[in-house]
Amino acid sequence: MKDLGDLHYFLGLEIKYVKNGLFVSQYKYAKDLLHKAGLDDCHTHLTPCQSGVKLLKDVGTPLSSHDIALFRSLVGCLQYLTFTRLDIAYSVNSICQFLQAPTEDHLHAAKRVLRYIKGTLDHGIIFRRGTSLGLPLTLQAHGDVDPAVSLQAYSDADWAGDPNDLKSTTGFVILLNQSPISWCSKKQAAVSGSSTEAEYQCMADTTSELQWLIHLLQDLHIEL
């Protein structure tokens, strides 16, 4: 094995060393994606999707075989971009549901996300040292971490938000000492009979992810 020095670029992820932490982005990957879509000089949008507008599976002109291949390729790239872009997770999740038979409306929705990305190329995630309590994160000689390490989670769900099948959408983000380490936006498996049921299903998914992270941190000898 050989030490290659500090990490700066890996699998499309760009790492910059900032004060007390790391800044991770996908600037070059996003630029290449815009070029692939032919949107290098496009106008930008302030939001990744239009507020209050739901995509429907049977509305719009069906795409040609060439455009279907382009749509699926763009959506796959957008999914990879969500590794550092929490802000587009919901919009990309919505578009991904129409890969089977996309229409022009779905392609326009994907390009809207790209136009939003055009105006936010410098966005990413900062992983900082420290805790939500303001205490320093100190690594001990034996590998243990200061007990001030903490996990914090936020979750939310809509109710029957998808007009195609009336299923609800779960969303959550989990922070380790104020740095996001896990996030999700996905449709729930079953139709909820009430907004309360949708919220409980969302909290159950979030708790399951929390439990997995707790066990992972324990394996790394990190006490919460």
- DSSP letters of 177-192? TTEEEEEEEEE-SS--
Q: Looking at the structure, do residues 202 and 140 belong to the same domain, yes or no?
A: yes
What's the pTM?
A: 0.80
- Residue after which a domain boundary falls, among 70, 87, 118: 118
Q: Looking at the structure, do residues 44 and 111 belong to the same domain, yes or no?
A: yes
Chain centroid to Cα 170, Å, comes to: 13
Predicted confidence (pLDDT) per residue in 122-178, tens digit: 999 998 876 444 434 444 434 454 557 889 999 999 998 888 889 999 999 999 988
Question: Could you say which DSSP state residue 135 is in?
Answer: -
Q: Looking at the structure, do residues 113 and 20 belong to the same domain, yes or no?
A: yes
Q: What is the mean pLDDT of residues 192-203?
A: 95
Q: Looking at the structure, do residues 95 and 21 belong to the same domain, yes or no?
A: yes
What is the residue range of 141's domain? 133-219
DSSP-based three-state secondary structure for 206:
helix
- Residue after which a domain boundary falls, among 83, 118, 153: 118
How many folded domains does the chain comprise? 2
Q: Looking at the structure, do residues 22 and 104 belong to the same domain, yes or no?
A: yes
147's CB contacts (< 8 A; 6+ apart) are: 223, 224
117's CB contacts (< 8 A; 6+ apart) are: 30, 33, 34, 48, 81, 85, 88
Asked whether residue 124 is assigned to any structural domain, the reply reads no
- Residue after which a domain boundary falls, among 59, 86, 118: 118
- DSSP letters of 99-122? SSS-BHHHHHHHHHHHHHHHTTTT
Report CA-CA distances (Å) from 131 to 17, 93, 128: 19, 31, 9
Q: What percent of the chain has pLDDT over 70?
A: 92
Sheet arrangement for strand 169-176: 151-157, 169-176, 179-187
User: What is the chain's mean pLDDT, rounded?
Assistant: 88
